[in-house]
A = this chain, B = another copy of it.
């Protein structure tokens, strides 16, 4: 999915959920008010960054005071569309899919897994949290009946593209992809990718460099 010019930069959109997350912790701690400085320290972002990001959406702070935690949190939630609960489906019920299906953190943050699917017949009927595993063949029906726009894909890489095709054909516009492959989608569909191995590899890069530096210093 592309960004249209003059739109809010995607980097900013990706930070908003982090702000929301941190603000909800602050709210739980009973903190009433927070400055961009304080919030930034928690998140590892500069104060200016936070103020600039928020300024795309309005004026939420008070000069000399900072931001009211509940107020700002409410606004960010609404900006993200989280005043509604988003029904999603999960496809793929290997160990990872099962962990996702059981994780409480989705529902508490506005994401409701309303259906769980697998093509392995031996898994059909398995109970996972509030969901019962259904066959992939039921996907189109459920997607359309519930007007599902978001999906989580946790199938092996070889199956990911076909699953994504079915999802997209049936109206899904946002996909969280755990399979280690870049899936092809029409450009009105958003895809976000989780590849823990790739993230680890980006760190082995730096750790290897450190070795070299140390070796150099020994000369």
Contact = CB atoms under 8 A, between A and B. Distances in A.
Q: Decide if the interface of chain A is mainly helix, strand, loop or mixed.
A: helix
Interface stretch (A19-27, A117-125, A137-145): A19-27
Contacts of A215: none
Interface size class of A (residues with CB under 8 A): 35 or more
Interface stretch (A59-67, A162-170, A206-214): A206-214
B13 A86 contact: no
Given A95-B99, A99-B96, A205-B16, A21 B198 contact: yes
A88 interface: yes
Nearest to A109: B197
Interface string A180-196: 11100000001010111
Contact of A194 (B14, B196, B205): B196
Interface string A27-65: 000000000000000111000000000000000000000
Residue of A20, A94, A203, A208 contacting most chain B CB atoms (<10 Å): A203
A5 interface: no
Nearest to A102: B95
Interface string A95-129: 11011101101100111000000000000000000
B197 A17 contact: yes
B81 A208 contact: yes
